[in-house]
A = this chain, B = another copy of it.
Amino acid sequence: MKRYAFFISDGTGITAETLGNSLLSQFESIDFERVTFPYIDSEEKAEAVVEEINKAQIESGQTAIVIDTVVDKNIRKVIDQANAFKVDIFATFLKPLERELGEKSSYTVGKSHQSALSDSYIARMDAINYALDNDDGARTRYYDEADIILVGVSRSGKTPSCLYMAMQFGIKAANYPLTEDDMEELTLPDCLKDRKEKLFGLTIDPDRLSAIRNERRANSRYASLKQCYHEVDEVEMLFERNNIPYLTTTDASVEEISTRIMAAAKLQRRLN
């Protein structure tokens, strides 16, 4: 059974998508066809969207689900005309919130996203640049600026986690790949020794690591099961011996790894 789900917004559509996907994932047996319409900021654009929704309903023989975060009243009225089941986030929650907060909400188009000129924007750009410049042990002399330094074997998930923490939370995250030399001696390289309080370890199931490495360099020693078991063993011993907190990235999405690191390392987000 196929159902259309439309995410409609006068801005980026990210709020509607995020909430919509959370809700729809609770219905496992239904195959949703998801379509996002961002920047629906005029009645004309809304009319075109309504046409698409009605077409989808006829095509699939099922009422479409509409999840929208449009704030403008006239545009909302147009969308309401679609033949669809509507999950209306703002209408549902803003009125009660207005009563609770004793204040009218600002029904202005696009208000729900940060401006480029805000402090948040600069903090985020700084953090992204920091993650890029201090990736994979490329530079170690700016580790004093780091909020956190991720350590682990190659392909354990360090780089995407650093980028995600920068993008989502404005956290300055560096990362350093531990090599066989470091691990065999069970000692930390000099550039990390003085920053022990900033270190956070990532580990991963060796079978999974081997699968990931094989995607990059098939049938190499680097990707072999034996090598992966060896490296993971050693790196966990190194973490234990140096009291470095760590977590496993197996079966975890980048969001999960990043938010778990934030919680475990007690880092506060720098963005709203």
Question: How extensive is the interface on chain A, given as a class?
Answer: 35 or more
Assembled-state Cα–Cα distance A159/B38 (Å): 22
A213 to chain B, nearest CB (A): 12
- Are A22 and B69 in contact, CB atoms less than 8 angstroms apart? yes
Residues of B within 8 A of A96 (CB): 85, 87
Assembled-state Cα–Cα distance A89/B20 (Å): 11
Residues of B within 8 A of A258 (CB): 12
Residues of B within 8 A of A65 (CB): 97, 100-101
Each complex incorporates copies of this chain amounting to 2
| Nearest B residue to A124, CB-CB | B254
- Are B11 and A116 in contact, CB atoms less than 8 angstroms apart? no
**Cross-interface CB contact of A71 among B26, B107, B252, cutoff 8 Å:** B26
Residues of B within 8 A of A215 (CB): 122
Name the interface residues of A222-255: CB closer than 8 Å to any CB of B: 249-255
Residues of B within 8 A of A135 (CB): 132
A75 to chain B, nearest CB (A): 16
